[in-house]
Structure 1
Amino acid sequence: MTVERTQRFVTTNGVRMHLAEQGEGHPVIFCHGFPHTGYIWHRQMASVAAAGYRAIAPDLRGYGQTSAPTDLDAYTNRAVIGDLLGLLNDLEADNAVFVGVDFGAALVWELALRAPERVTGVIVLNNPFVPRAPRRPSQLWARAAQRHFLHLDYFQRPGVADAELAACPRDFLTRVYYALSGDYHYLDTWSFPAEGTGYLDVLPAAPQLPWNWLSESELVVLAAEFERTGFTGGLNWYRAIDRNWELTADYADAVVTVPTYFLYGERDTDMEGFSGHDPLATLRANVHDLRAVTSIPEAGHLVHLERTEIVNTVFLEHLADLTKTTSH
Structure 2
Amino acid sequence: MELTHRIVDTGDIRMHVAEQGEGYPVIFCHGFPHTWFMWHNQLEAVAAAGYRALAPDLRGYGRTDAPAGLESYTNEAVIGDLLALLDDIGEQRAVFVGLDFGAQLVWELSLRHPERVAAVAVLNNPFSPRPPRPPSAFWTKAADRHFLHLAYFQEPGVADAELAADPRGFLARVYYSLSGDYHYLDTWKNPPGLGYLDVLPEAPPMPWSWLSEAEFDTLVADFERTGFTGGLNWYRSLDRNWELTEAYADAKVTVPTFFLYGENDPDMEGFSGRDPLATLRANVVDLREVVEIPKAGHLVQLERADAVNGFLINALKSLDLTVSTSA
The TM-score bracket by the shorter chain reads over 0.9
Distance 2:114 2:107 in 1: 10
Q: CA deviation at 1:192?
A: 0.3
Residue in structure 2 matched with residue 251 of structure 1 by the alignment = 248
Residue in structure 1 matched with residue 322 of structure 2 by the alignment = 326
Q: Counterparts of 1:42-61 in structure 2 under 5 Å?
A: 42-61=40-59
- Aligned to 1:293, the other structure's residue is in SS state strand
Distance 1:25 1:178 in 2: 35
* Structure 1 residues 35 and 325: CA distance shift in structure 2, 3 A: closer
* Structure 1 residues 325 and 159: CA distance shift in structure 2, 3 A: closer
Residue in structure 1 matched with residue 78 of structure 2 by the alignment = 80
Residue in structure 1 matched with residue 221 of structure 2 by the alignment = 224
Distance 1:310 1:292 in 2: 14
* Structure 1 residues 185 and 73: CA distance shift in structure 2, 3 A: same
* Residues 24, 321 of structure 2: 8 Å contact kept: no
Deviations 1:249-296 (A, max 9, x none): 000000000000000000000000000000000000000000000000
Residue in structure 2 matched with residue 103 of structure 1 by the alignment = 101
The two structures have a TM-score, normalised by structure 2, of 0.98
* Residues 31, 101 of structure 1: 8 Å contact kept: yes
The residue type equivalent to 2:235 in the other structure is: Y
- Aligned to 1:130, the other structure's residue is in SS state coil
Q: CA deviation at 1:13?
A: 3.4
Distance 2:75 2:129 in 1: 15
Paired residue for 1:277, among 261, 274, 277?
274
* Residues 13, 82 of structure 1: 8 Å contact kept: no
Q: CA deviation at 1:45?
A: 0.2
Q: Counterparts of 1:39-188 in structure 2 under 5 Å?
A: 39-188=37-186
Q: CA deviation at 1:326?
A: 2.4
Tell me, yes or no, if structure 1 residue 213 matches structure 2 residue 178: no
The residue type equivalent to 2:10 in the other structure is: T
Residue in structure 2 matched with residue 297 of structure 1 by the alignment = 294
Tell me, yes or no, if structure 1 residue 4 matches structure 2 residue 2: yes
Q: Counterparts of 1:12-23 in structure 2 under 5 Å?
A: 12-23=10-21
- Aligned to 1:217, the other structure's residue is in SS state helix
The residue type equivalent to 1:219 in the other structure is: F
- Aligned to 1:74, the other structure's residue is in SS state helix
Distance 1:13 1:98 in 2: 21
List gaps (5 residues or longer) in structure 1: none
The residue type equivalent to 2:304 in the other structure is: R
Distance 2:38 2:168 in 1: 15
Deviations 1:138-174 (A, max 9, x none): 1211110011000000000100000000000010000
* Residues 182, 300 of structure 1: 8 Å contact kept: yes
Runs of 4+ aligned residues of structure 1 deviating over 6 Å after TM superposition are none
Distance 1:13 1:127 in 2: 29
Distance 2:311 2:256 in 1: 15
Aligned Cα RMSD in Å? Answer: 0.9
List gaps (5 residues or longer) in structure 2: none
Tell me, yes or no, if structure 1 residue 32 matches structure 2 residue 44: no
The residue type equivalent to 1:167 in the other structure is: A
Distance 1:54 1:325 in 2: 12
- Aligned to 2:97, the other structure's residue is in SS state strand
Distance 1:113 1:81 in 2: 11
- Aligned to 2:126, the other structure's residue is in SS state coil
Distance 2:285 2:33 in 1: 31
Residue in structure 2 matched with residue 238 of structure 1 by the alignment = 235
- Aligned to 1:24, the other structure's residue is in SS state coil
The residue type equivalent to 2:231 in the other structure is: G
Distance 2:112 2:21 in 1: 28
Distance 1:310 1:80 in 2: 29
Paired residue for 1:264, among 261, 269, 286?
261
Deviations 1:12-33 (A, max 9, x none): 0310000100000000000000
The residue type equivalent to 2:170 in the other structure is: F
Q: CA deviation at 1:327?
A: 5.7
- Aligned to 2:322, the other structure's residue is in SS state coil
* Structure 1 residues 111 and 327: CA distance shift in structure 2, 3 A: closer
